[in-house]
Chains A and B, each alone.
Chain A
């Protein structure tokens, strides 16, 4: 018996889903009336036009004397040796936006970066990427938000003028003994750190403060006190058999998601004959992808977490024969968890996303009891991407207001937007004499600064990174600076009168301090992008246990709040709000809620009815109006809202979208909390429609996702997938079966590995020139993504299980779309690809109607030139991002996933010219390349040794709607959860 899956609360409750398109039709009229009226209003309609066509078409053909445009072919004057027109080069570089690190390869075609790929040589991210990393190439070509030249007092200026002005001010302030604060985001570049030290020496009044709106301050403080190491350790999810996470969204947004996802996927894999899975339990408030992947998910209010941690500590302490500590809740999930953790001592991991140092101390104490330090927690290679202590920023703001700060240099930070008390910051900055911003794009804080010295985009810069101690990587420019911008490092060098450029400085630093080797080694490192020291054995750290009692005391005094608690979370697309102006990310549906183009208040159905609101209403939270979204699995009495929206001065896409909820954050006990129970929540009178892709392609309750539990899987590997064998037996046809004489391409997707992180969605969008269509069009179900993440809920509405399923064209060998095309624009290739010839398509959309998977998309508009779709394709600069090997589709044609045929052809050609057979795994479609958990495997079914052939033979493998005999060439591997109960 299959589980009952449902896609939305409406479906769960058997409610009629409101059809928003009906709202557009006034009462008493039907659609045809409207169309007639519209035609009547227009002086010439398409119908009239066709009337006049006829013979005049032929006349036009002759009389028009159509001149073919003269096309120029302009060669290089001096061709650089390593650039070949028409061929892409890949450069290894590093992505770091101030919080997230990724080692990447940049595909550069004819001098312009067009695609980000994961760098598989990196031991940190292992070739994985995230949606934000994939989308970062687009912001390079943002000709509106990016500054074109330095700005002084709001007027365009030039570099020598601003340098002279700033240098003089710096000297003056420094001579008078004033304080200049370099307010930076996390800085992980060793060379930059060294340069900042030199800057401090040159101007004694300078001090650096690291500011991070979503900091890990709680962990840093707790570890500093517990171990004397104020760092975030390395969490080895691959070595942990039991993972207990307290609201740490480590697969989505917490600390280093790409790295953690790759490790987590290793412990959840069953494709290589593994007989066990790790056990993952997640306590969280809102529904995240991490919670969705968990074997057990427990919705809790933020104020309950402290009690749960204390309870867990006490349970384990009893087993360890140690004294308990006062306080603690009595949640039924904890004792069983304690048993599991204790059984897997040294192979377990307890983490918390809380920013409360006391909670983190208790977490440390639990891990100490479980002997996880040195086993699954590595202090030898700590994560250096989080360095901010929240109290420093608090002090800075009060000092600024007291007038004791004379200079403020903002480097990759935007406190006027993301500081919890923006008014205090703004009034403070008014009292600072010298204010400089290094922002490469416009932001809210720049309104209050005197100088704006635009930085290069990271794809134009030289840099280095040390994301984890001992793991280094380099960043190199992949394009000449587009605008008159300059690296902040070069500004610092100029002001302290240092000769040379930052590249020389960086190279010297590497050759003398890091590589300690010559030119050859430098070039090798530059080529691979990464460099690491010999791995050292994990140091054993011991905890200062005296801290536990006071921390416990402080925690037990926290009362479980009865108020509505509001949690500010990052969503996958927006993160902390730095990338909000990126249209690709703006239109990326959140994998759980499936909403894009807005932030909203997630509430459970129960809480919503208590508040008297329903889906479509708005809530008023401390004066901010937010649309209500009924989120199954949301903890009762809580509201989750995503940060990163509500910009006012950030660019054409970001401005005015959603609400900025940073002001709801509270500062407590030395750290910033992204939750509050003090906000006033009430129903607002207004209504609001969210753009959701939720009901797209509903599969009407068929066995689309198949899942089982570990026990059943070990008994019989085809558990939950027995029906697949049944269908396989029924494969008979009257027609002659097509033979695939060469390759037969196929794709296998491991539902166990897929976390729903959506990196593939953006990777596909970048690779295949997929347009952004805007909120209105999304609401009309016209989103263009070729790959989408379908999300299914199962079970209890209060705490459902969630399954993610990436869905793209299934490349059916017996494709229903092909039979109905009147012009054979879509047909089957000799290699098993379901082909789409755009130049043949006449836009009948029959194929869309006949596709059971609803993966075909129609171009309703000419998105590449239409000024109404002012997102990423309609001006010359942003069109630079387009992939020249993929057609930009014309209005009126259907498009869909092509299995990245351009990549298949490229690699086939390479093999041919090198006179060798294709290697398995050589061809990587964009989605598979960027996947951090490597859930997508692509290859040749005709090669019995290929991985995809192996996976197709796996008893877990099944196809979507296989009962229809469509013979899809995408296979899914049954989801196996490590839990006992089966909600069947």
Chain B
């Protein structure tokens, strides 16, 4: 009751205007900080156990929910001695092998699936886990001071306040140096930003049974978010305002990032200069030396011509294209750090013309268990689960677009030709955001066809090419390139 009263006090806009004495403010701030630190210290101790539990135990054990792979752990501290538990956690196999009767019984009761050993955990860590299990209580329904189910129909002032909070135009009551917008973009940007954009947040918030913004602000779901939000203690009312803003943002949509047309400006500048030179040359005649006019016109024409040629060549070529994807999926994390094989996800590349974007269920093969990413926390991975629940597939943006009238087969190159993916796609394993590596122009295709040697001797398909085999034998040629088996024929690719 008291707490609520204080909050209501704080909410009163006149309170801040009346002001407090500077010393009082300082004292209050100091006290707050001390309490805050103590508070976070306590929270951290408890959180460590929780985090360790979530990281190591949760895959096989539940707390209050029955047996999963391993037994239910609720009340285990009453059933067993804490030292025994610690020993069992550290190395259960040893205990079973040693013939500890309880350990053997537990082993046999659980279909003889041995528990993993956790020799990597310190004693303190194990005891913090046991502590967490002992003190665990079912989550209590948190009481909110605002209507947390409201998603539509916010008042204009609420939206405006939310917007200001979001952009950091007014500070948060309980501190925090940065605003929401410093991490959560409101415009599309081409730099790497692991935090979900405002649009992502708005979508997740507006979705039916979507993100509970109050809950996740109060209790961050992942390490990443916890760290990023460590400074912030938003009040329910502030979250409410931000929710209002997100709702509005959802309807308004994201502003497009405008690209300044540099080349057009250069073009127009020279056009202007040439016009001026021409006018001066013919009418005004202010500049004596005609060589200046001529130089301006010649250079101008040169620039124009160069621009025209270069741009015409690059028409519809999209090298370095790296669009924003609906999920901040990092190939660097998956293919680079975790060394996942390209063909695990793009499995159809072996036998189909398209490499195939992995379907949602392929993502879930791993992400059923891996729920939190190292850069993006839970938010991005959650999108897979959200798609699974809603039944709407994820709409990825295609990076490599071939012209319509070109037939290209991955199977031909990956399977028959044994070309490495990197040859055309570049070092994808080092890319957080995938970008188009090759320009996919016809010249690029042809160059490779001219020089690449085919696996002529080993693939039995080529046994039909009798004449080339004869030439090889006679030593007329030492290898066979794609060109020699018709790799430059129009109808290899165009039909």
B464 touching A940 by the CB < 8 A rule? yes
- Determine whether A827 belongs to the interface, using a CB cutoff of 8 Å to chain B: yes
A902 touching B359 by the CB < 8 A rule? no
Please choose the segment from B39-47, B79-87, B132-140, B486-494 that sits at the chain A interface, where 4 or more of its residues have CB less than 8 A away.
Answer: B486-494
Q: Who on chain A is nearest to B388 by CB?
A: A77
- Determine whether A76 belongs to the interface, using a CB cutoff of 8 Å to chain B: yes
- Determine whether A916 belongs to the interface, using a CB cutoff of 8 Å to chain B: yes
A58 touching B312 by the CB < 8 A rule? yes
Contact with A along B181-197 (1 / 0, CB 8 A): 00000000000000000
Contact with B along A893-927 (1 / 0, CB 8 A): 00000100110010011011101111000000000
Knowing A77-B391, A917-B464, the reply to whether A61 touches B397 (Cβ < 8 A) is no
- Determine whether A75 belongs to the interface, using a CB cutoff of 8 Å to chain B: yes
- Determine whether B289 belongs to the interface, using a CB cutoff of 8 Å to chain A: no
- Determine whether B362 belongs to the interface, using a CB cutoff of 8 Å to chain A: yes
Q: How far is the CB of A99 from chain B (nearest CB, A)?
A: 37
B394 touching A833 by the CB < 8 A rule? no
- Determine whether B283 belongs to the interface, using a CB cutoff of 8 Å to chain A: no
A interface bracket (residues with beta carbon within 8 Å of B) = 35 or more
B387 touching A77 by the CB < 8 A rule? yes
A72 touching B348 by the CB < 8 A rule? no
Q: How far is the CB of B401 from chain A (nearest CB, A)?
A: 6
Q: Who on chain B is nearest to A900 by CB?
A: B495
Please choose the segment from A63-71, A119-127, A260-268, A755-763 that sits at the chain B interface, where 4 or more of its residues have CB less than 8 A away.
Answer: A63-71
Q: How far is the CB of B445 from chain A (nearest CB, A)?
A: 13
Knowing A59-B267, A61-B315, the reply to whether A743 touches B360 (Cβ < 8 A) is no
Knowing A61-B312, A835-B490, the reply to whether A75 touches B464 (Cβ < 8 A) is no
Knowing A62-B267, A831-B489, the reply to whether A73 touches B315 (Cβ < 8 A) is no
Contact with A along B27-53 (1 / 0, CB 8 A): 000000000000000000000000000
Chain B residues near A86: list those with CB within 8 A.
348, 352-354, 356
B485 touching A742 by the CB < 8 A rule? yes
Q: Who on chain B is nearest to A887 by CB?
A: B405
- Determine whether B281 belongs to the interface, using a CB cutoff of 8 Å to chain A: no
Q: How far is the CB of A939 from chain B (nearest CB, A)?
A: 12
Please choose the segment from B55-63, B367-375, B465-473 that sits at the chain A interface, where 4 or more of its residues have CB less than 8 A away.
Answer: B465-473
B395 touching A74 by the CB < 8 A rule? yes
Chain A residues near B17: list those with CB within 8 A.
none
A75 touching B360 by the CB < 8 A rule? yes
Q: Who on chain B is nearest to A839 by CB?
A: B405
Within 8 A of A (CB), among B290-341: 304-305, 307-309, 311-312, 315-316, 318, 321, 323
Please choose the segment from B166-174, B218-226, B230-238, B406-414 that sits at the chain A interface, where 4 or more of its residues have CB less than 8 A away.
Answer: B406-414
> Residue B491 contacts which of A84, A901, A915 (CB distance < 8 angstroms)?
A901
Complex Cα gap A411–B132 (Å)? 71
B359 touching A77 by the CB < 8 A rule? yes
Chain B residues near A729: list those with CB within 8 A.
none
A78 touching B359 by the CB < 8 A rule? yes
Chain B residues near A85: list those with CB within 8 A.
348, 352, 354, 356
Complex Cα gap A940–B466 (Å)? 13
Chain A residues near B23: list those with CB within 8 A.
none
Q: How far is the CB of B384 from chain A (nearest CB, A)?
A: 10
Indicate the member of A742, A831, A840, A885 with the most B CB atoms within 10 Å: A742
A742 touching B401 by the CB < 8 A rule? no
Chain B residues near A75: list those with CB within 8 A.
356-360, 393-394, 396
B360 touching A829 by the CB < 8 A rule? no
> Residue B486 contacts which of A57, A831, A840 (CB distance < 8 angstroms)?
A831
Q: Who on chain B is nearest to A838 by CB?
A: B405
Indicate the member of B311, B361, B458 with the most A CB atoms within 10 Å: B311
Interface of chain A: mostly helix, strand, loop or mixed: loop
B397 touching A71 by the CB < 8 A rule? yes
> Residue A741 contacts which of B360, B463, B468, B492 (CB distance < 8 angstroms)?
B468
Within 8 A of B (CB), among A355-412: none
> Residue A72 contacts which of B307, B395, B403 (CB distance < 8 angstroms)?
B395
Q: How far is the CB of B258 from chain A (nearest CB, A)?
A: 11
Q: Who on chain B is nearest to A79 by CB?
A: B359
Knowing A837-B490, A887-B405, the reply to whether A942 touches B353 (Cβ < 8 A) is no
- Determine whether A87 belongs to the interface, using a CB cutoff of 8 Å to chain B: yes
Q: Who on chain A is nearest to B305 by CB?
A: A58
Complex Cα gap A322–B393 (Å)? 80
A65 touching B261 by the CB < 8 A rule? yes
Q: How far is the CB of A894 from chain B (nearest CB, A)?
A: 13
Chain A residues near B464: list those with CB within 8 A.
742-743, 917-918, 940, 942-943
Q: How far is the CB of B93 from chain A (nearest CB, A)?
A: 38
Complex Cα gap A838–B490 (Å)? 10
A78 touching B360 by the CB < 8 A rule? yes
- Determine whether B263 belongs to the interface, using a CB cutoff of 8 Å to chain A: yes
B416 touching A742 by the CB < 8 A rule? no
- Determine whether B117 belongs to the interface, using a CB cutoff of 8 Å to chain A: no
Complex Cα gap A75–B355 (Å)? 11
Q: Who on chain B is nearest to A78 by CB?
A: B361
Chain B residues near A886: list those with CB within 8 A.
495
- Determine whether B461 belongs to the interface, using a CB cutoff of 8 Å to chain A: yes
Complex Cα gap A836–B459 (Å)? 29
Knowing A58-B308, A75-B360, A85-B352, the reply to whether A66 touches B315 (Cβ < 8 A) is yes
Chain B residues near A77: list those with CB within 8 A.
359-361, 387-388, 391-393
A916 touching B460 by the CB < 8 A rule? yes
Chain B residues near A902: list those with CB within 8 A.
407, 495
Chain B residues near A940: list those with CB within 8 A.
464
Within 8 A of B (CB), among A36-77: 57-59, 61-63, 65-66, 68, 70-77
- Determine whether A830 belongs to the interface, using a CB cutoff of 8 Å to chain B: yes
- Determine whether A739 belongs to the interface, using a CB cutoff of 8 Å to chain B: yes
Indicate the member of B305, B315, B353, B484 with the most A CB atoms within 10 Å: B353
Chain B residues near A57: list those with CB within 8 A.
308
B315 touching A912 by the CB < 8 A rule? no
Chain A residues near B359: list those with CB within 8 A.
75-79
- Determine whether B21 belongs to the interface, using a CB cutoff of 8 Å to chain A: no
Q: Who on chain A is nearest to B489 by CB?
A: A829
B489 touching A830 by the CB < 8 A rule? yes
Q: How far is the CB of A842 from chain B (nearest CB, A)?
A: 15
Q: Who on chain A is nearest to B362 by CB?
A: A79
Q: Who on chain B is nearest to A899 by CB?
A: B491
Chain A residues near B459: list those with CB within 8 A.
912, 915
A66 touching B316 by the CB < 8 A rule? yes
Chain B residues near A905: list those with CB within 8 A.
407, 409, 492, 495
Knowing A70-B397, A829-B490, the reply to whether A62 touches B264 (Cβ < 8 A) is yes
Chain A residues near B451: list those with CB within 8 A.
none
- Determine whether B398 belongs to the interface, using a CB cutoff of 8 Å to chain A: yes
> Residue B460 contacts which of A59, A63, A66, A917 (CB distance < 8 angstroms)?
A917
Chain A residues near B388: list those with CB within 8 A.
77
- Determine whether B107 belongs to the interface, using a CB cutoff of 8 Å to chain A: no
- Determine whether B141 belongs to the interface, using a CB cutoff of 8 Å to chain A: no
- Determine whether B415 belongs to the interface, using a CB cutoff of 8 Å to chain A: yes
Indicate the member of B267, B356, B465, B466 with the most A CB atoms within 10 Å: B356
Chain B residues near A918: list those with CB within 8 A.
461, 464
Chain A residues near B209: list those with CB within 8 A.
none
Q: How far is the CB of A918 from chain B (nearest CB, A)?
A: 6
Chain B residues near A59: list those with CB within 8 A.
267, 308
B352 touching A68 by the CB < 8 A rule? no
Q: What 10 new A-B contacts, CB under 8 Å, besides A77-B359, A78-B360, A901-B491? A: A61-B315, A62-B311, A73-B397, A75-B357, A86-B356, A839-B494, A886-B495, A887-B494, A905-B409, A912-B461
Provide a sorted-by-A list of 30 A–B residue pairs whose CB atoms are within 8 angstroms: A58-B307, A58-B308, A58-B309, A58-B311, A59-B267, A61-B312, A62-B264, A66-B315, A66-B316, A72-B396, A73-B396, A74-B395, A75-B356, A75-B394, A76-B360, A77-B360, A79-B362, A86-B353, A87-B352, A743-B464, A829-B486, A830-B486, A831-B486, A836-B490, A840-B490, A902-B407, A915-B461, A916-B461, A918-B464, A940-B464
